[in-house]
Structure 1
Amino acid sequence: MNATPAELVRLEVSGGVGSIVLDSPHNRNALSRQLRRQLRDQLAAAVSDDDVRVIVLTHLGPSFCAGADLREIGTASDETEVELGEIVELLWSSPKPVVARIAGPVRAGGVGLASACDIVVASDQISFAFTEVRIGVVPAVISVPVLRRMRRHRAVELFLTGATIDAATAVTDGLINRAVPADQLDAETNRVTRMLMRGGPKALAGTKKLVAESRTDDGRRRMGELNSWSLSFFTSDEGVEGRTALMEKREPNWCFTEIRPEASTDDGFSRPQKKITKI
């Protein structure tokens, strides 16, 4: 009788947030075949779940992700093999915003996971490194999301040297969005997710698509297309509701029925604390 596979990745949905938790601390959340397969499946589940508005990729244990599971290198694979590139593409192309919450060191392929997320919030006590060259391999797949974030010359330096950088340097290099004291990591992650949930779901998905395409296309050449696209959002049901809510000084109908007190000022504007009735 086959043993039930261990649950190395969990999806926990609460308050519109789908938290995808890497839970393989015995190997520092290394990207084993089983973890990759489960991560792929849980990402797909979060994207298709209508109750999930924002995805948070996080972890248990002292490390976020150590990269490839070196014990599996060179061993036979099977039909369930999931490559890292498939996961990176799922993170990058998700129509829902993806936030990485990182409380421990990140290495190699783990940096690729983080780089593919839209916003990365990390403890200021952790470090990052592209360690591939140190074991005679190259950061091939992860170079795609990393080079979309970092200045190319800095990425090349770190790829080639395998040097370790701290969180503050990672912010300066553009690898992550912000580094905060460890005891403020959850509060900052929650603040970011609350702000994201103030956006219309279709508008958020459209904005992600816009940014992704703008990296490869000439903006001036696409201006006519972009103008039409912009108009389609303004005239959509969601666009009308957003403008109407602003004029009526209320929350739009995609907000939750109850807004926490902190959410009243997280965008810099003071609002009365009150319950919101969905339209």
Structure 2
Amino acid sequence: MSGPRAVVVSRGRDLLRVEMARPRQRNPIDDTLLTELAAALDEAEADPGCRVLVLGARGADFCSGTDLSGDRPVPGDGLAAGAELPYWRLLDRLTRSELVTVAVVDGRATAGGVGLAAACDLVVAGERASFRLTEMLVGLVPAMALPFVARRVGEQRAFAATLRAEEFDSEAARAAGLADLVGADAERVLRPLLAALGRTDRATTAALKRYRARLFPRDERLGHDASHLLLERFAAPGTRALLDRAQEAGAA
């Protein structure tokens, strides 16, 4: 794999910790990141002693979303009929994994980065955390992130936040439901959470998550439809110009 690694993986007691590690690039979502995150999740799930996967990031950005500065639309474009983009598959895995998935957000989560956090079972937010879906500003729709945000904050709240490209700081995120635990020091908040999660075995977590999926089922075609909608919006007349202007202004 060419270029620097997108993540750094470390092990702890009963857990695997994954940090997005390209702060100079604002931790973008691209093929490299998606491949390495999927591999880390594979590793954690293959270890019967692992109960928790912790997803964090280095630098001022948790994740800046998909890098749309080039001509190639999104990671994994060129879908076959019925297929889903890798980003959707990762979000779906985070919700369905028998592990407890915990996002530690202590920086800016933008666009697809919001979806990455929202797909995790629990979100810990530090004082530097912010959450903002910016896709509408550049002619796109957060088709894949929106279902995971909406399951946390509710349909209308997610819709309104998307329309307005609303930014949530850590306290507003907790009030809305985007974050579960908030503190000035995210690591200090994380430690007792991990201790509490260590008291529940993996099989029980898996059973709870399966039951939640049964209680609140998701349309099986949603990933396909979301993936194709994103590609359609990227190809729509005028979208490229909006993206280019946003890049020049530093707003994307």
Whether 1:130 aligns to 2:128 is no
Greater fraction strand: 2
C-alpha separation between the residues in 2 aligned to 1:77 and 1:99? 24
- CA deviation after TM superposition for structure 1 residue 77, in Å: 6.7
- CA deviation after TM superposition for structure 1 residue 83, in Å: 2.1
Which residue in the other structure is 2:66 paired with? 68
- CA deviation after TM superposition for structure 1 residue 216, in Å: 3.0
Q: What SS does structure 2 have at the residue aligned with 1:42?
A: helix
C-alpha separation between the residues in 2 aligned to 1:200 and 1:75? 41
CA contact (8 A) 2:30 2:75 kept: no
Which residue in the other structure is 1:120 paired with? 123
Which residue in the other structure is 2:191 paired with? 190
Which residue in the other structure is 1:212 paired with? 213
Superposed counterparts of 1:1-279, under 5 Å: 4-74=2-72, 83-181=86-184, 184-216=185-217
CA-to-partner distance for each residue in 1:94-142, whole Å, 9 max, x for gaps? 1010111111011110000101100100113321110000111000001
CA contact (8 A) 2:75 2:86 kept: no
Structure 2 gaps, min length 5: 80-84, 219-252
Bigger relative CO (Cα 8 Å, ≥ 6 apart): 2
CA contact (8 A) 1:11 1:46 kept: no
Structure 1 gaps, min length 5: 218-279
CA-to-partner distance for each residue in 1:133-190, whole Å, 9 max, x for gaps? 0111000001121111112211111111112121111111111112211xx3112111
CA-to-partner distance for each residue in 1:201-259, whole Å, 9 max, x for gaps? 21111111111211139xxxxxxxxxxxxxxxxxxxxxxxxxxxxxxxxxxxxxxxxxx
CA contact (8 A) 1:29 1:64 kept: yes
Aligned residues: 213
CA contact (8 A) 1:13 1:19 kept: yes
How does the TM-score come out when normalised to structure 1?
0.71
Q: Match of 1:88, as an amino acid?
A: L
- Alignment RMSD, CA only? 2.2
C-alpha separation between the residues in 1 aligned to 2:111 and 2:27? 12
CA contact (8 A) 1:122 1:180 kept: yes
CA contact (8 A) 2:133 2:161 kept: yes
Judged with a 3 Å threshold, the aligned counterparts in structure 2 of structure 1 residues 205 and 122 are, in CA distance, closer, same or farther, namely same
How does the TM-score come out when normalised to structure 2?
0.78
